[in-house]
Structure 1
Amino acid sequence: MKKYKVLALNPGSTSTKIALFDGEECLFSKNVSHDAGELEKFATLSEQLPYRRDMILSLLKEANVSLEDVDVFVGRGGGLVAMEGGTYEVTDLMLEHAKNYANGVIHPASLGPQLAREFAEQYGAKAMVVNPPDVDELQDLARMTGIKGVNRVIHLHALNLKETAIRHSKNVMNKKYEECNYVVCHIGGGISVSAHRQGKMVDGYDIVGGEGPMAPTRCGSVSVADLLQYMKKENLEIADVKKLCTRTGGFVSHTGISDALELTKRAQAGDKYAEMLWNTMIYQIEKCIGSMAAVLHGKVDGILLGGGMVYNEDLVRQITESCSFIAPVYAYPGEFEMEAMAAGAIRVLNGEEEVKEYTGKLVWDGFPWQE
């Protein structure tokens, strides 16, 4: 089987991660830093494109890394409307949606498809994205809420969640992802807990909207009545509450810090507040795992834990003690985002998967009676 070369491009707020793969082997990886002051000069994210591209090319030249024989450039998807999971070719429509934030979320990930296309055109290769943040494979029962006209959408670490499940299926279960059921968690700055049934992420918690467990910077699920009372007491606006969902909640709200390592050090030093906060977060993760197991009717082949906080042995121990009655618990510390981007493209080039077409239409647009 031919080995394909892939350059993965993952734009962040002040850096762009890049990694060059030859098949599964990573030949080169680097986090290209961008000066925050320089980025502020650009009116839109898309205007940053030439600056970021040239910074990447300069670094690769210094490292004597050639892109001449790269088969495909894979960008982190962003700005796109909800779609099924999989690997997508970067089309003109996808570029237009990424540039204009068709999903309403302004995030550097929207530069991913744009960078991939720029490099692909320069080097005569293909351009793709793999499992963008807006993957939507929810079952219908997971969509309705108790308010007419308000349906659930979810934003999760889809790329890492699905890649963790794919790798576990192959390496541990000796099966295909489509043959297994899992509860998969990404436990980092944000915490995603999701149910995967036979290759589809059929439910999970919306970590952008304030669902699920609290996280270092996220408030997690809170009673609506309590939140309204808190808004009134603190004289908060809607924008303030949205920040609690993604930036100023969780550890930050309680202690002013977002570093889980610092919090655990305080707990070990006898800080009871920090200890309770840490254990409460884990308790909430365990509750969410249990609910996702119920979604799968208890037919769970494994509980998979990924993300940076999974390096913490106490966290893994507590979750294992609480949840191993459901299924075996497996720890995959860190994340596979760059590997996942490359692997998705390679599966397509090898004929293991079909490349998907981005239609620009929501994968789900309401129940029939809402038309």
Structure 2
Amino acid sequence: MDYHQLNLVVTHLGGGITSSLHSHGRIIDMISDDEGAFSPERAGGLPIQKVIGECMNSGTTYKDMMRKVQRQGGLMDHLATTDLREVEHRILEGDEYAKLVYDAMALNVSKDIARLSTVVNGQVDAIILTGGIAYSRPFTAEVTQRVKWIAPVKILAGENEMEALAHGALRVLRGEEEAHTYTFQPLENC
């Protein structure tokens, strides 16, 4: 089928986890790595009042807080590793806390996928799981079990970000797409 005729939920499972809804060739909604499921490195969505309190009461700088939520959150915070294979090994060795955290991450990924499916009234043609974590059959099986009622799940494992960026640049150079400029101005302190 043609990408421009489909509704897809695409979830990238890497150091951060993002999910996006592609409808008829356009990304129309997204759950970024700072608002959805936690991941190996990212804290994911956090209760905002607690975060504000932490910033205000501890004097934490913007840079320190960003490091905590982008590099030292998720699996790293809970299990002191970002390696899902290590977490899976711990589970096989009987580590109940590792299993709890692993299951929570899979559950929250599944909830993000289900949440995005509502944007197109559940009319999703396929769910695509990609990124390095998509190599994990146990993890993708757990997510698939929870979301297969929405649409068929396809696994496209691997980190293809640079290839995707190159293809995007090529489309701009060929005049097939317009270039966009995004600006970001970080805060100095929380």
Q: TM-score, normalised by structure 2?
A: 0.84
Gap runs ≥5 in structure 2: 184-190
Match 1:237 to one of 57, 61, 79: 61
Decide whether aligned partners of structure 1 residues 359 and 256 sit closer, same or farther in structure 2, where only a CA change above 3 A counts.
closer
8 Å contact kept, 2:43–2:74: yes
Q: Distance in 1 between matches of 2:164 and 2:65?
A: 33
1:171-182 alignment runs, 5 A limit: 175-182=1-8
Structure 2 residue aligned with 1:197: 23
Structure 2 residue aligned with 1:358: 179
1:358 partner amino acid: A
Match 1:212 to one of 23, 36, 46: 36
Structure 1 residue aligned with 2:13: 187
Q: Distance in 2 between matches of 1:348 and 1:186?
A: 23
Q: Distance in 1 between matches of 2:139 and 2:18?
A: 15
1:213 partner amino acid: A
Decide whether aligned partners of structure 1 residues 361 and 226 sit closer, same or farther in structure 2, where only a CA change above 3 A counts.
closer
The alignment's C-alpha RMSD in Å is 2.5
Residue 298 of structure 1 deviates from its aligned partner by 0.7
* Aligned partner of residue 236 in structure 1, secondary structure: coil
* Aligned partner of residue 29 in structure 2, secondary structure: strand
Residue 358 of structure 1 deviates from its aligned partner by 3.4
Residue 300 of structure 1 deviates from its aligned partner by 0.3
Residue 315 (1) aligns with residue 142 (2) = no
**Count of residues in correspondence between the two structures:** 183
Match 2:106 to one of 282, 286, 290: 282
Decide whether aligned partners of structure 1 residues 235 and 252 sit closer, same or farther in structure 2, where only a CA change above 3 A counts.
farther
Residue 245 of structure 1 deviates from its aligned partner by 2.7
1:149-208 per-residue CA deviation (whole Å, 9 max, x = no partner) reads xxxxxxxxxxxxxxxxxxxxxxxxxx221111000011011111111111111111222x
Structure number with the higher helix fraction is: 2
1:203 partner amino acid: D
Residue 248 of structure 1 deviates from its aligned partner by 1.1
Q: Distance in 2 between matches of 1:290 and 1:347?
A: 31
Higher relative CO (CA 8 A, sep ≥ 6), structure 1 or 2? 2
8 Å contact kept, 2:19–2:32: no
8 Å contact kept, 2:171–2:177: no
Residue 269 (1) aligns with residue 93 (2) = yes
Q: Distance in 1 between matches of 2:87 and 2:58?
A: 26
2:95 partner amino acid: D
1:16-95 alignment runs, 5 A limit: none
Residue 286 of structure 1 deviates from its aligned partner by 0.5
8 Å contact kept, 1:211–1:221: yes
